[in-house]
Chains A and B, each alone.
Chain A
Amino acid sequence: MLNLSNISVTFNEDTPDEKKALQDINLSLNSGDFVTVIGSNGAGKSTLMNIVSGSLKPDIGIVEINGKKVSQLPEYKRSNFIGRVFQDPMAGTAPSMTIEENLAMAYARNKKRKLRIGVTKKRREMFREFLETLHLGLENRLNAKVGLLSGGERQALSLLMATFTEPNILLLDEHTAALDPSRAELITNLTGEVVEKFNLTTLMVTHNMQQALDLGNRLIMMDKGQIIFDVSGKEKQELTIEKLLHEFQRIRGKQMDNDRAVLG
C-alpha cells in the first residue's frame, strides 16, 4: 500500500544549522495496517508525515502508494488519496465557513470540483448521518460556523472530514495533543472506530505511549531521523510501557556505545 525506500531529508545542508531530519528511512505498510509512531521531540516524525503527504519532497528516496510512484506528485494531487488530521485543531477546518460547507469541501476531495452547488439536500442528509456517528450533536448545527466550535469538536470534525471519503492512507500527527484528557480520549476512541470502519491504512504520531500501545497493529519508534524499533502483531500486543522504555534505553545505549567506539 505505502512504500518508502531510502528516504533522506536534510535541512539547511552545509550550514552550521544542518539537521538530518530523516536518514535512509525504509518503511512498508500493508493495506489496512494501523501504525503508531512514537519518538522524542525532533526525531523526525512530522517530517516523515510531510514526506508521505507531499508537503515536503525528500532529498533522495522514493515514495510509492498502491504501487504507483508519487514522489513527483504535488501535495494537492496526492491528497486525492491521503487524508490528514493536524495537531492544531485550527488547521484542519475553515473557521469562517459552516460545518456543512466544510464537509462539502472534504467530500469533493476525490472528485473533480465543478460549478455545481456544494451542499445539496441529498448531501446534507448524508453529512447529517456521518455527523451522528460522532455523538457530539453536531448534526443539529450544520449551519454553525466552524470557528465557533470547541477544539475537541473541531478535531472530531477534522477526523470525520479526513476519513469519510475513505482515502487510501490516513495521516494523524499528534491529533489529540491539544485536547484535554477526556476530549483526547473521545477522539482516540473515534479514531479507532473510523479506522476500523473504513479499514484505512493509517500512520499515527503520538506522544502518548499508552495510546500508541492501545491503538493499531504495529508500532515504530523513531530517533534522530531513524526508525530504531518496529514491532507488530502479537509482539506489539504484549508490549507494555515499561518494556518500551527499556527497549528505548537498550537501543539508545548501544548506539551511544557505538558512537563512543567511533570517536574513541
Chain B
Amino acid sequence: MFISIFGAVESGIIYAIMALGVYLSFRVLDFPDLTVDGSFVTGAGVAAISIINGVPPFIATVFALLAGCLAGSITGLLNTKGKINPLLSGILMMIALYSINLRIMGRPNLPLINESTIFTGLKPLFETTGINQALNSLVQLFGVERFPGSWAVLIIMVFVTLIIKVITDYFLKTEVGLALRATGDNERMIRSFSANTDSLKIIGLALSNGLVALSGGLVAQYGGFADVNMGIGMIVIGLASVIIGEAIFGTKTIMRTTLAVIGGAIAYRIVVTLALKVKFLETGDMKLITALLVIVALIAPKLIATSKEQQRRKRKKMALSKKAEEV
C-alpha cells in the first residue's frame, strides 16, 4: 500500500508541473488551450531524442521546455493574429503537433531504459549520502515495512516543482504578471491601460505550454520512454488536477491556488491509483475515472454550498417559530 501511494505521489508531483501550465492558460488567461495534449508529447519527445543523441539530460530537459514555449506561442499567434477562436487554435495546434512529434521522435516509441536521465544521475547521491536510509527508517517509525527503491525522484521533484511554483507566484505579481491576469479577467480594461493583450496572450500560452512540455520531458525520463500517444487526454488530467485542487484546498490567493493545483495533481494520482486497486476496474477505465472525477469535483462544491444554505434557512425558521412559541 505504502509503495503504491508513494508511486502516486512521485508521479503526481511531476504531473503537477503540467497542471500548473494548464492553470496558467485555463484559469489565469481564461483560455481553454487544447495544445496541451500535443505539447506534452513534444516535451517528452524532444527530451528523449536529445538524450539518445548524447545531450546531457539537464540540457535535454531545458530543450523540452523551450519546444513547449514555441508550440504555445504558435497557438497564441493563431488566436491573436489569425483571429481563430481559442478552442480551435488549440485543437489545430494539437493535431499539427501529433505529426511534428512523430517527426521529432522518428518513430512512435523511444525507450530510455538504458540511457542516463536526470534521475539516474542523482540516484547514487541519495544512496551514498545515506538520505535513503534515513528516510526509510523515518517511515519505519510509522509502521511501514516495504521501502521504495529510492527517494531521489520524490525529493528532487518536490524541490523542482516548488521552485517552479514560487517563480510562478512571483511572476503573477510582477507588472507583466498583473497585466497577464487582467487579460484573462477584463481584456478591454487592461487594453485601456496600454497593455498589448495580443503579446500577453502569446507570452502566457508560451509559458503554459513550456511548463507542460517540461513536465512531459520529466515524465519520459521518469517512466523510461517517450510515446507519441502519451499525451492523449492530458488536458483533462490537467483540468482534473486544477479543479480537484481548487475544490479541496481553496483559491483565496495566488500562492494558495498554485499550491492547490499541485495538491490536486497529487490527489488525482492517488485517487486513480486507489481506484485501479478495485478488482472490477481495469487500466483502460482510467479515462472514465478521470472524467467522473472532474464531474464530481465540479458538482460537489455546489451541492455542498446549496445544502449548507438550506440548513441555514431551516435553522433560521426554527429559531423564529421557537420565538413565536415563547411569546
Contacts and interface: CB of A to CB of B under 8 A. Distances in A.
Interface of A: 53, 55, 75-80, 82, 84, 86, 90-97, 101, 104-106, 108-110, 113-119, 161-162
B129 interface: no
A166 B132 CA distance: 61
Interface residues of B, number: 23
Nearest to A82: B192
Contact of B175 (A86, A118, A161): A118
B100 interface: no
A79 B191 CA distance: 8
Interface string B176-212: 1111011001101111111111000000000000000
A167 to B, nearest CB: 10
Nearest to B176: A113
A55 B173 CA distance: 28
B43 to A, nearest CB: 24
A116 B171 CA distance: 8
Contacts of B188: 86, 91
B174 interface: yes
Contacts of A80: 194
Given A76-B194, A115-B171, A95 B182 contact: no
A118 B189 contact: no
A86 B171 CA distance: 29
B178 to A, nearest CB: 4
Contact of B189 (A92, A101, A115): A92
Contact of B174 (A75, A82, A86, A117): A117
A106 B182 CA distance: 11
A76 B197 contact: yes
28 contacts: A75-B192, A78-B194, A79-B194, A82-B192, A84-B192, A86-B188, A90-B186, A91-B186, A91-B189, A92-B189, A93-B189, A94-B185, A94-B189, A94-B190, A95-B185, A97-B181, A104-B178, A105-B193, A113-B176, A113-B179, A114-B174, A114-B175, A114-B176, A115-B171, A115-B174, A116-B174, A116-B175, A117-B170
Interface of B: 170-171, 173-179, 181-182, 185-186, 188-197
Contacts of B178: 97, 101, 104-105, 108, 118
A53 B171 CA distance: 30
B191 A75 contact: yes
A109 B178 CA distance: 12
A96 B175 contact: no
**Which of A82, A86, A113 is packed against the most chain B CB atoms within 10 Å?**
A113
Contacts of A161: 193
Contacts of B173: 117-119
Contacts of B179: 105, 108, 113
Contact of A76 (B176, B177, B196): B196
Contacts of B192: 53, 75, 79, 82, 84, 92, 162
A95 to B, nearest CB: 6
